[in-house]
Chains A and B, each alone.
Chain A
């Protein structure tokens, strides 16, 4: 069940009524209805792995308590902790990466030896949202072991944390320390938060339906027949793909945050206008924030600590390993790994040159960016878009062929698109304008009620709804559902 469907609208309405009007007396009752709704949501989307979610959850719930009870630095504690981490990673590796590793091993073996081994991949179904909920469970174990949080005794709250339906399919990778305190107390209906949620949902819907769903067919047509296109078309195709991934994933995240706010729960905003960045570090602080912070906290920081004696080399190694894992998180493909490594390599000049980077809001307090900021933003956008060619390609060979055409003389040819791009051209300025003027906020429609009058706000909502209704693309699957 996807957020932009009538089925979800009815599901949400039902849960909303039960949550605020029937099960509204205690926090526990509210959590029960959220948990039941989440289980139903998961089952309706794909029932086959609900048992995996349950078993994995109980295992982590029990083991986290045992880890916490064991003495600090004791072997028992380490045993509990590492076995839990290994089991979680093992589940992820089995479902997502088993075939990939075996296949890569066989290819390597065949390459290095003259013996020919064949391998028929196992038919392994990937449970929905496995990367998201497994990473949540791992972070929970780390946080308990590091004594940043106490393990919870509240089984319903714990399962609500894992399975909470707005975030189960595509994140954010929420931390227990942020989520649990919110659901441990009874939620009172907050009009402003609910309206804020509805607006954020509307903005997410716009990004998904108008931008991503109109970009996807164009991008697919370009990438499927890239051999017949000019370099300029392929380059613009990569721009559209970057925009499409952003609009699709951040649109989903906005909808997830919006839905959650309507239940009085704030979840992590996964995006903070990443293309309004002037350097790669700033970009990753604003792109898939929950994954980046997870990787920084649990991979990069410990690794750079271990490698601290190697100074800059250590930093470079740790950042490349971190981004390799970021790439690999997306799935069992070499293209994802290369994508990650490329992003890691983008950090090298920054580390080597000791460059101080600004992290804040772009052109803060100003209406428009400076010329240099525009140049840097554009350059960064092109660099990121080029890496998405690898990300989208079927294999590395295809990516190279694509690059070869992009950097050929046909890059100066007039681009010709296999499908009309008129809807993208109409939608993009709306996206850019709203996001630019709201860049210090959480999302593109988060108006300040005191400075923007109600009639003006309603006109803008109405305008966005009209654009969605009139220029919606054919429904495309959420890109990040596959991860």
Chain B
């Protein structure tokens, strides 16, 4: 028999394997180089500088993004962003404090449910991994990369090339990439909602799917809260944990998680804990069950300005 026809050592099969390995190795290497070099380009050319007078940096999720108007509260930059978990906040804080030595206070918005297991989805969920990892890759260090790869290697590695256009475009897009104040104009219509769907309202009062009925506590979210704290300590930046105004039934709904949150916060010895969850905002100041609208934001921001946040 002709040896060339014995498949295991056939010349054709060998040729295919060699070509395939050569081509795929070259492609993977090239992709890695492009991903890393564009991330480097994005970071190098991004303007992280904040106004010299801004000594306070506010970060958090959608709640502070809609709640605190930096045009009212002086010397404050609001770079909060919807669905930003502490993992992504951590890298944002690191980079911004490094680039802006004038920052002496980091205000980290919180709510008691930040210690629930559901919050870990803001780090582990596939959609979040795909979206936030690609958009924020230019802020990653090797440890961050390793942390997300460990979480879901396939999802992260397969989607990482999508960071290329983001890394290239982010310097042009500017700080909106990191977050910012966003004014909501809608008004929560309590009466209509109650009439149309009383069950939904009842469900919402229980927490609206924000947490499990049986308390389960976060691992990742709390870990990165500690990381943020450690970083602030190392840079002599005061960490302020700020719980923002909520609807009264939300205050009641989130109460079961308060002891656990306080326990976690107590470990952050030098952090200042402020709880404004019961701060009165009329119903017309809420855009929905969780977020302040322009009116609510104005009332609350003015209160902050008068009471110390604005120097």
Contacts and interface: CB of A to CB of B under 8 A. Distances in A.
A462 interface: yes
B195 interface: no
B196 interface: no
Nearest to B31: A469
Contacts of B164: 470
B249 interface: no
B19, B30, B161 — which one has the most chain A CB atoms within 10 A of its CB?
B161
B130 A474 contact: yes
Given A21-B8, A462-B30, A469-B161, A191 B23 contact: no
Interface in B130-172: 130, 154, 158-159, 161-162, 164-165
Q: How large is the interface on B (under 10, 10 to 19, 20 to 34, 35 or more residues)?
A: 20 to 34
A20 B7 contact: yes
Nearest to B166: A470
A188 interface: yes
Interface stretch (B10-18, B53-61, B238-246): B10-18
A458 B23 contact: yes
Interface of B: 5, 7-8, 10, 12-13, 15-16, 19-20, 23, 26-27, 30-31, 34, 127, 130, 154, 158-159, 161-162, 164-165
A461 B23 CA distance: 9
29 contacts: A6-B158, A20-B7, A21-B7, A21-B8, A24-B7, A188-B5, A189-B10, A189-B12, A189-B16, A191-B13, A191-B15, A191-B16, A194-B16, A195-B19, A198-B20, A458-B23, A461-B23, A462-B26, A462-B27, A462-B30, A465-B27, A466-B31, A466-B34, A469-B31, A470-B161, A471-B162, A471-B165, A472-B159, A472-B162
Contacts of A474: 127, 130
Contacts of B16: 189, 191, 194-195
A190 interface: yes
Given A190-B12, A195-B16, 7 more contacts: A189-B7, A191-B13, A191-B15, A194-B16, A466-B31, A466-B34, A469-B161
A458 B26 CA distance: 10
Interface in A245-296: none
A381 B165 CA distance: 32
B170 to A, nearest CB: 15
Interface string A171-195: 0000000000000000011110011
A470 B5 contact: no
Contacts of A191: 12-13, 15-16
Nearest to B154: A6
Contacts of A189: 7, 10, 12-13, 16
Q: Which 9 A-B pairs have the closest CB atoms?
A: A469-B161, A191-B12, A24-B7, A470-B161, A20-B7, A470-B164, A6-B154, A21-B8, A189-B7
Interface residues of A, number: 21
Nearest to A422: B165
Contacts of B8: 21, 24
Interface in A181-225: 188-191, 194-195, 198
A185 to B, nearest CB: 14
A373 B100 CA distance: 62
Interface in A431-483: 458, 461-462, 465-466, 469-472, 474
A462 to B, nearest CB: 6
A188, A191, A470 — which one has the most chain B CB atoms within 10 A of its CB?
A470
A466 B164 CA distance: 10
Nearest to B160: A469
Contacts of A195: 16, 19
A450 B27 CA distance: 24
A429 to B, nearest CB: 16
Contacts of A462: 26-27, 30
Contacts of B31: 466, 469
Interface in A21-54: 21, 24
Nearest to B34: A466
Interface string A382-414: 000000000000000000000000000000000
A466 B12 contact: no
Nearest to A469: B161
A21 B164 CA distance: 39
